[in-house]
Structure 1
């Protein structure tokens, strides 16, 4: 588990976020570039270890009724990943893209050795795999979709 200072140090590595000290020694991290009314990516980080990250727009992440996840027991990589996904979910393109995915490239073509082609598309915070117009599968993350495609002998075109 990260301590208060370690969590703050990670949050401060995101240049998009503005640190705002609030009452009782707590710290919020404001994202002015949000296209929604939600501006706090990091909420009430406290010296006792508690802290929350907004994740209501991220599929597959359990949140409280306000859309936040308690990151008290998160490690450094988990916290970084969640904050990055939160920022992306509140950004202009509204997507939480996987590593290496470009903001404008929400569709990927994949082909197997037999020449069959599938299309991996990101929509509504999910990754959908299509064969022509037919939906084959849906995945919560790009990583799950890529793993499946590679297991089935497909490679990115």
Structure 2
């Protein structure tokens, strides 16, 4: 496990991060170039070595409900990678997923990922909303729909 000082050194190798002190001797590191409202890359780095990096819903990380990944046990390589991934996430424009599905009567339904929700539309009207893609596709399959190729 890296010490607080070692983690600080790794984090501060990213010149586009700005350090801000918060309560209880913790530090946050912000990315001013973020194209989203979210600017905190490293949150609550504590002198005991605990802290979090924002990873949103990147599939390679086990994040909490806020999209934060715990870096307490991270190696130097892991910490460097997760910070680079976070910066890339916060500086890359979001590309929503949109799929067209067809039911057995040739009606088209659109599955659209919007701000973390998976919404099903029929003729521009929201038919239903789901927390993840699997729930939404199971719903569509249950409605006898197939993904349009």
Same fold (TM over 0.5): yes
CA deviations over 1:9-29 (Å, ceiling 9, x no partner):
111110110011111100000
Tell me the residue number matched to 1:25.
Answer: 25
Q: Is the CA contact 2:35–2:93 (under 8 Å) kept in the aligned structure 1? A: no
1:89 equivalent in alignment to 2:89: yes
Q: State how far apart, in whole Å, the 2-side matches of 1:27 and 1:94 are.
A: 28
What aligned pairs does 1:49-64 form with structure 2 within 5 A after superposition? 49-64=49-64
1:36 to partner: Cα distance: 1.1
The secondary structure found in structure 2 opposite 1:69 is strand
- Secondary structure at the residue paired with 1:25? coil
For residues 94 and 31 of structure 1, the distance between their equivalents in structure 2, rounded to whole angstroms, comes to 17
Structure 1 segments unaligned to the other structure (5+ residues): 96-157
CA drift at 1:60: 2.2
Q: Is the 8 A contact 1:18 1:29 kept in 2?
A: yes
Rg comparison, structure with higher value: 2
Q: How does 1:31-110 map to 2 (within 5 A)?
A: 31-93=31-93
1:14 aligns with 2:29: no
Q: What's the offset of the Cα at 1:94?
A: 5.2
Q: Which runs of 4+ in 1 moved over 3 A?
A: 92-95
* TM-score normalised by length of structure 2: 0.61
- Scaled by the length of structure 1, the TM-score of the pair is 0.58
The count of aligned residue pairs is 95
CA shift for structure 1 position 57 = 4.0
Aligned-residue Cα RMSD (Å) equals: 1.4
* In structure 2, distance between residues paired with 1:61 and 1:48: 22
Alignment deviations for residues 32-56 of structure 1 (CA, whole Å, 9 cap, x no partner): 1111111100000001110100001
In the alignment, structure 2 segments of 5+ residues that lack a partner are 96-149
Paired with 1:21 and 1:71, the residues of 2 have a C-alpha distance of 18
